[in-house]
Structure 1
Amino acid sequence: MIPTRTPSKSVTGESGWLTQLLLNPRDRTVQRDLRSLSDLHRTVMRLVPDGLGDSPRSRAGVLFRLEADGTGSPVVLVQTALRPATDRLPDNYARAQVRSMEALLAALRAGLPVRYRLAGNAVRRCGPNSKAGRWKQALPLHGPEADQWWQDRAQAAGLDLRTLTSRSADAATTWHEPPTNTAATRLRVDRAVTLFEGTATVNDPVALRSALLNGIGRSKSYGCGLLSIAPAGRGD
């Protein structure tokens, strides 16, 4: 059984909005954001109001995933708990398309076949007596172990997996500035990301709705955890 955490209360908590951002690769802010997901996160947070107090990402229900295959303009899919203010993005940053999740959430029912996609930070934490690493150190999972990580969380999220394809994606790279008045250089942190795709059947619509709105796993501020689903055809 996967332990669950009670999510922070969102701004609306009832539905959500999906925003597709077709990034302008010539824009300097875009180029900066593609080098560091912490910078991309700050730009994405401009879609929601300021002054949300502690845990603004969680309160505003912000999740995002960078989708770039190297053949076209990169795309960022953003989910928010309230309608995004796309006019707050930098000029010439992206073309935005916004749609409500209301119809998708209303269609959820037991037995519904769906297609899914998730960029997950599949890790396990070391225990106090672990010989694999330091206590509480996050160790990335690969191959069958990563698949099992998703299978466990998919079940908790109300999905019965029918097919599963996984592959290692580009690491979620962030750059952290050193403390002022020190000689330290910027610190690079890479978080392992696995892309899971396939088909499933909904067995618990309430659990799935919660997973869609709150995300799955860790590193949500760095492009992980956004579960995307769409109804599947009979041939899927």
Structure 2
Amino acid sequence: MYLSRVEIDINNRQKTKELTHLGAYHNWVEQGFPNEIADHKRLRHLWRIDRLAGKTYLLVLSQEAPNLDQLGAYGVEKTAMTKSYDPFLDQVKEGQIMQFRLTANPTHAISQPGKNQPRIVPHVTVNQQRQWLAERAAKLGFQVVKTATAGLMDSEEIENFDIVSRDWPILKRGHRTIRLSRVTYEGLLRVDDLDTFKQTLMNGIGREKAFGMGLMTVIPRG
């Protein structure tokens, strides 16, 4: 696995004028793997947009290393870089506390009378979006760290994570224009099931992974 990053040249409107919807970003990521295109072999590429310290980055997790010239097509010159992710994965330990960042598409299924397939709809409130992650954590190999908070009468434990961004970016599919719910979470987790957690890091969480959702990154604490 490889983790790659490039700073998006957001101040150069001529260069980035095409990046108006999630499909354009998806195409950008795919063009970063010309060998896969030539071999007609499309592997999954997890990616997300990060905004940190006044800069905007494209972050990509992939099985093969990307072509940095292609990855830098819409980036600030000489900011495209990649490194092997495997050494980091090999160091993850069960019980380890980690700081995480996740951009995801929290949804739920609603049954439709007379239809076999349920309708997939987004969670729209902060409480629903928080609950979506908390309920899935155990199956994904981790637990969200809880912090005891002292109230007036007693104390309770709350999940130690925040929603730091919520928006509805555009995705164009043919003649259709739709908006996807995009939510970014940050907080602390504890690794419970090592193998499952590694699969979560490599395969992502939730829906719309081709369009910038599902990538979780972690940093060890302590």
Q: What is the TM-score of this pair, normalised by structure 2?
A: 0.81
Whole-angstrom distance in 1 between the partners of 2:73 and 2:185? 33
Distance in 1 of aligned mates of 2:74 and 2:210? 23
Match of 2:107 in 1: 123
Give, in angstroms, the shift of residue 92 of structure 1: 6.0
Structure 1 residue aligned with 2:171: 174
Task: Show the counterpart of 1:138.
Answer: 121
Name the structure 2 match of 1:158: 141
1:46 corresponds, among 31, 37, 49, to 31
Further displaced range: 121-130 or 42-51: 121-130
Gapped runs of 5+ residues in structure 2?
A: 146-159
For the residue of structure 2 that corresponds to 1:50, the secondary structure is helix
Partner of 2:132: 149
Shift of 1:232: 1.1
Residue 81 (1) aligns with residue 63 (2): yes
* Correspondences of 1:1-236 after superposition (within 5 Å): 16-25=1-10, 26-33=12-19, 35-48=20-33, 49-51=36-38, 53=40, 56=42, 59=43, 61-68=44-51, 72-89=54-71, 91=73, 93-94=75-76, 95-129=79-113, 135-162=118-145, 163-178=160-175, 187-233=176-222
TM-fit CA distance, 1:41:
0.6
Partners of 1:204 and 1:82 in 2: CA distance: 26
Which stretches of structure 1, 4 residues or longer, exceed 4 Å deviation after superposition?
51-54
TM-superposed CA distance for 1:93, in Å, is 3.3
Instruction: After TM superposition, give the deviation of residue 158 of structure 1 in Å.
Output: 1.0
TM-aligned CA deviation for residue 222 of structure 1: 1.2
Q: How large is the RMSD of aligned CA atoms in angstroms? A: 2.3
Asked whether the equivalents of residues 24 and 93 of structure 1 are also in contact (C-alpha less than 8 Å), the reply is yes
Q: Normalised by the size of structure 1, how large is the TM-score?
A: 0.77
SS in 2 for 1:152: helix
What are the Cα deviations for residues 61-118 of structure 1, in whole angstroms up to 9, with x where unaligned? 301111136x733211111111111123465634212111122100111111101111
Aligned length: 201
Cα-to-partner distance string for 1:119-170 (whole Å, 9 max, x where unaligned): 110011211249xxx9414233422221121112221111111111114422
Aligned with 1:68: secondary structure?
Answer: strand
Structure with the higher fraction of residues in strand conformation: 2
Q: Is the 8 A contact 1:63 1:79 kept in 2?
A: yes
Shift of 1:205: 1.0
